[in-house]
Amino acid sequence: MRNSKALVAFSGAAFAAATLFAGAPAHAADDREVCASAADQAQQLRDEGKYRRAREQMLICARDVCPAPIKRDCLEWLSSLEQVAPTIVISAKDGTGDVTDVKVSMDGTSITERLDGKPFPVDLGEHTFKFEYQGKTKEEKVLIGAGQKVRTIGVQFGNPNAGTTGGDSSGGATAGGEQKSGSLVPALVVGGIGVLALGSWAYFGLSGTSDVDHLESTCKPNCKQSDVDSARSKLIIADVSLGVGVVALGVATYMILTRPKVDSEIKTGMNSVRFDFGPTRGGAVAGLGGNF
């Protein structure tokens, strides 16, 4: 009886061991097949620019259960992919500032239920992002290129100027009403240039006329050519200065009359407005330059 019980126990242990050792190779074979398949798919997806799915497959074939050569290759691919795969950071704002309880989907697939500021890997190409916040929905189409890192994809819900003085329901008002009031400074600068130009016209006109009278009374028709050229240059400068003065004063008048509309545009260009005046051989030169 004892021998028979011992024989039964030995037979059971032998059967269990045989089952265990028989299953181990099969399990290992399944792992190798999964790893090899993941490695093949990872390379194909990477070449197609589908970096997100390629990364998922690389993580599968880089596991410890995978054969050493496959694991090594997948780890190298994964490291290289991290260098070129683009990433984005999603942000959203309302009238009071940043908001986080925003649902976001990309190309119809949900990618987050709440914003956390973390970079998110994306594939190359054009993507459509859909943002949902407090019953409001917005969409943005974005073209993603290789190597773009931590690119911000943002959206604005509501009026960005809500709660600020001078804001309106359209969200297009300027802070402090600066554009509405308008500034006279640019107009005064241009007007000053016009006054200087008229002064130049008066000076060179009188001086040139005086020189002409002097030449006619002293040496005509045998005057020096240099003296004739000098008198002529002064008269030409007088004519140019008159034109510049009239134009500048006209522009100044227009700026004063229309400053609520043009003030925001001329502020950026007034620093480059200039009146040039200086002597030259045989006379002088004057001119008006810059942006109006």
212-268 pLDDT tens trace? 888 888 888 888 888 888 888 888 998 998 888 888 888 888 888 876 544 444 444
Q: Give the β-pairing of 125-133 and 103-106.
A: antiparallel
128-169 pLDDT tens trace? 999 999 889 999 898 988 778 888 888 888 776 654 444 443
Identify the band that residue 8 occupies on the pLDDT scale cut at 50, 70 and 90: very low
Residue by residue, DSSP assigns 65-86 as: TS-HHHHHHHHHHHHHHHHHS-
Q: Whole-angstrom Cα distance, residue 155 to residue 138?
A: 8
Contacts of 67 (CB under 8 A, 6+ apart): 32, 35
Q: What does pTM read for this prediction?
A: 0.41
Phi first, then psi: give them for residue 156, nearest 5 degrees: -115, 125
CA distance to 98, 153, 282, 290, per residue, from 243 (Å): 55, 52, 21, 16
Give whichever of 68-72, 121-125, 206-210, 284-288 has the largest mean pLDDT: 68-72
Residue 269 pLDDT > 80: no
- The pLDDT assigned to 119 comes to 87
- The pLDDT assigned to 128 comes to 93
**Averaged pLDDT, 95-118:** 89
- The pLDDT assigned to 36 comes to 93
**Averaged pLDDT, 98-127:** 89
28-38 pLDDT tens trace? 678 889 999 99
CA distance to 1, 186, 188, 258, 268, per residue, from 265 (Å): 109, 11, 16, 12, 6
- Consecutive H or E run containing 276: strand 274-280
Query: Position 217: which residue type?
Result: S
Residue 10 pLDDT > 60: no
